[in-house]
């Protein structure tokens, strides 16, 4: 269900709500839950000083709907239908405020969203381990490029190269994101991850991709350090896991 708030004949706030089922096909964390999947509103401005009042009215209506749905858990987020925007980004204090005013609090982790220019990522280089080669397959989250030594997989990276959704999101043409980056424990700090990113960047250049997104939790210090060395820069930090105590 989508709710909107109008003020002086103008839509100034909107929210999209989800009600999850109670069957075994639903993950335990979401079973019988209700969620404000996203809530957006105009921030207060000199020409619109009461926009936050409309946001509060809308937020209260969201809680009333979750209550009528008999949801056992009340959740909130900011996931928009575009990559890289989820949780409550630090640039949205005006969205965080109505969530907090109606009783939501962050219970999940804070994540860093990063961006790199593909042309500035490493170029393919000699394998850091003798005999290592790359193999390309279909992955869980896009194209998977694996670092292999014989039949042993040392690590892999997955990249989704069509964030434009076949042209439906035209402004995201030339954007991709990292679905997974993993290196086996005993092969870490030996250049495998850097080599894999170089292989992925070369593959993305063939697809005319210009920008690459990646994500990490703020306590993943090694991963953040690696991404920084590779040329990724921080775009935002976003707070996940907003929970309300319920009725």
CATH at residue 157:
3.40.630.30
Task: Say if residue 48 is exposed, middle or buried (CB neighbours under 10 Å; 0-12, 13-18, 19+).
Answer: middle
Read off the pLDDT of residues 143-180 as tens digits, 9 standing for 90 and up.
Answer: 999 999 999 999 999 999 877 666 566 677 789 999 99
Domain that holds residue 10: 2-106
Range 89-94 contact pairs with CB under 8 angstroms and sequence separation of 24 or more: 89/113, 89/236, 89/237, 89/238, 89/239, 90/236, 90/237, 90/238, 90/239, 91/236, 94/41, 94/43, 94/44, 94/52, 94/55
Query: Is 244 contained in some domain?
Result: no
Query: Is 159 contained in some domain?
Result: yes
pLDDT for position 198:
96
Q: State whether 70 and 90 are in the same domain.
A: yes
Domain count, the chain: 2
Read off the pLDDT of residues 171-209 as tens digits, 9 standing for 90 and up.
Answer: 777 899 999 999 999 999 999 999 999 999 999 999 899
Full strand arrangement of the beta sheet holding 242-244 = 2-7, 10-19, 33-41, 73-76, 242-244, 105-106
Q: State whether 121 and 231 are in the same domain.
A: yes
Query: Is 30 contained in some domain?
Result: yes
Nearest-angstrom CA–CA distance, 155 and 214: 17
pTM, 2 dp: 0.89
Domain C-terminal end among 74, 106, 138: 106
Query: Is 178 contained in some domain?
Result: yes
Q: State whether 232 and 120 are in the same domain.
A: yes
Coil, strand or helix at 48 = strand
Domain C-terminal end among 106, 133, 151: 106
CA atoms within 13 A on the CB side of 52: 16
Q: State whether 162 and 194 are in the same domain.
A: yes
Q: State whether 7 and 67 are in the same domain.
A: yes
Q: pLDDT averaged over the chain?
A: 94
Query: Is 125 contained in some domain?
Result: yes
Domain C-terminal end among 73, 106, 139: 106
CA atoms within 13 A on the CB side of 136: 8
Q: State whether 134 and 204 are in the same domain.
A: yes
112 pLDDT band (50/70/90 cuts)?
Answer: very high
């Amino acid at each position: 269900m989508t709710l909107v708030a109008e003020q002086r004949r103008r839509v100034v706030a909107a929210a999209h709500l989800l009600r999850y089922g109670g069957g075994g096909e639903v993950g335990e964390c979401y079973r019988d839950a209700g969620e404000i999947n996203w809530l957006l509103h105009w921030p207060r401005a000199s020409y619109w000083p009461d926009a936050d009042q409309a946001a509060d009215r809308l937020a209260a209506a969201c809680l009333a709907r979750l209550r009528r749905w008999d949801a056992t858990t009340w959740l909130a987020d900011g996931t928009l239908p575009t990559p890289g925007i989820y949780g409550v980004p630090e640039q949205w204090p005006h969205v965080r405020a109505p969530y907090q005013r109606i009783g939501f609090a962050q219970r999940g982790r804070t994540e860093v969203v990063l961006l790199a220019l593909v042309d500035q990522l490493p170029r393919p280089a000699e394998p850091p381990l003798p005999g290592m080669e790359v193999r390309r397959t279909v992955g869980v989250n896009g194209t998977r490029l694996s670092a292999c030594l014989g039949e042993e997989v040392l690590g892999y990276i997955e990249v989704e190269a069509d964030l434009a959704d076949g042209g439906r999101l035209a402004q995201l043409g030339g954007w991709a994101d990292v679905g997974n980056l993993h290196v086996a424990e005993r092969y870490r700090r030996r250049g495998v991850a850097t080599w894999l990113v170089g292989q992925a960047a070369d593959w993305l250049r063939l697809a005319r991709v210009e920008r690459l997104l990646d994500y990490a939790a703020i306590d993943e210090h090694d991963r953040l350090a690696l991404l920084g060395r590779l040329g990724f820069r921080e775009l935002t930090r976003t707070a996940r896991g907003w929970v309300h105590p319920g009725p």
